[in-house]
């Protein structure tokens, strides 16, 4: 078992900065108001004025990767947002021994932005960094409602959405293991790897794939192979891009 010292979360979560922009979580009120909260994003009747934030994000991703249909862009967008959330949480867990409360009502999101300026946490409140608390914060607080919103709007299958969440988790842990090894703190990477294993065993992620250390092989496909020149991802269930109907990859 890896034992880490507990350090109070600082108001700016500054310890995340050396890990790279994808791990950084801005704090305080966003400078480009009004930005919707993720609670509003998950609500199909979002109170933010204008176009729904998910529609903005999916269109941005679709334009960037030349997605042949919105469902492909929605899958890629989901995985990217989940990677941001997992990265911030795991980064805090290994740097502080605590995590911030990521209640969707506290997290503002810029659907047209990119890391680290896409997410702003209005208030930093420390929570324990054990796997059960992380599961409550991320799996129940974000994976479930985001998957439901994307399923309603873009017909993303449950298995695909859960596979995206598991893939993003493994990817965040893998980056932490690599980064902490390079900066001379391999014990922090060991902790990230242990947390990832515990979280992927959670009922909401169990069965999504096989985790070996931080190497993950998923049992679903994110549909990225349908992007022109996209091919398959490193953890894809397919050894090569399939030629059959995309329905085979949506489970």
Hey, where are the domains in the chain? 14-205
Number of continuous H segments (helices) and E segments (strands) in the chain: 7, 7
Average pLDDT over residues 26-40: 89
Confidence of residue 92 (pLDDT cuts 50, 70, 90): very high
Average pLDDT over residues 62-78: 93
Average pLDDT over residues 33-48: 82
Pairing relationship of beta strands 107-109 and 119-121 according to DSSP bridges: antiparallel
Res. 3: pLDDT tops 70: no
DSSP code per residue over 78-121: HHHHHHHHHHHHHHHHHHTSEEE---TTTEEE-TT--TTTTEEE
Average pLDDT over residues 197-222: 92
The mean predicted confidence, pLDDT, of the chain is 88
Q: Is the distance from CB of 177 to CB of 214 less than 8 angstroms?
A: yes
Res. 152: pLDDT tops 60: yes
Question: How many Å separate Cα 221 from the centre of its chain?
Answer: 16
Query: Can you tell me the distance from the alpha carbon of 66 to that of 120, in angstroms, rounded to the nearest whole number?
Result: 28
- Report pLDDT for 165: 96
Confidence of residue 33 (pLDDT cuts 50, 70, 90): confident
Confidence of residue 64 (pLDDT cuts 50, 70, 90): very high
Handedness of CA 156, 159, 162, 164 (dihedral sign): negative
Query: Can you tell me the distance from the alpha carbon of 185 to that of 233, in angstroms, rounded to the nearest whole number?
Result: 29
Pick left, alpha or beta for residue 24 (phi over 0 → left; psi -120 to 50 → alpha; otherwise beta).
beta
- Report pLDDT for 49: 64
Handedness of CA 8, 13, 15, 16 (dihedral sign): positive
């Amino acid at each position: 078992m890896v034992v880490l010292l507990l350090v109070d979360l600082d108001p700016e979560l500054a310890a995340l900065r050396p890990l790279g922009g994808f791990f950084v979580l801005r704090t305080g009120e966003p400078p480009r108001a009004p930005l919707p909260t993720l609670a509003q994003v998950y609500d199909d009747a979002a109170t933010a004025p204008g176009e729904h934030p998910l529609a903005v994000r999916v269109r941005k991703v679709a334009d960037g990767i030349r997605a042949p249909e919105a469902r492909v862009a929605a899958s890629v967008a989901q995985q990217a947002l989940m990677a941001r959330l997992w990265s911030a949480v795991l980064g805090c867990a290994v740097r502080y021994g605590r995590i911030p409360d990521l209640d969707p009502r506290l997290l503002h999101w810029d659907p047209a932005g990119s890391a680290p300026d896409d997410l702003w946490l209005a208030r930093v409140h420390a929570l324990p960094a054990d796997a059960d608390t992380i599961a409550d914060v991320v799996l129940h607080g974000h994976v479930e409602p985001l998957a439901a919103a994307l399923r309603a709007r873009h017909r993303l299958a449950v298995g695909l959405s859960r596979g995206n969440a598991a893939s993003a988790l493994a990817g965040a842990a893998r980056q932490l293991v690599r980064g902490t090894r390079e900066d001379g703190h391999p014990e922090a990477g060991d902790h990230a790897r242990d947390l990832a294993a515990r979280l992927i065993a959670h009922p909401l992620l169990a069965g999504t794939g096989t985790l070996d250390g931080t190497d993950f092989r998923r049992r679903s496909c994110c549909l990225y192979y349908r992007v022109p020149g996209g091919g398959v991802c490193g953890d894809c269930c397919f050894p090569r891009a399939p030629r059959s109907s995309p329905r085979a990859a949506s489970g």
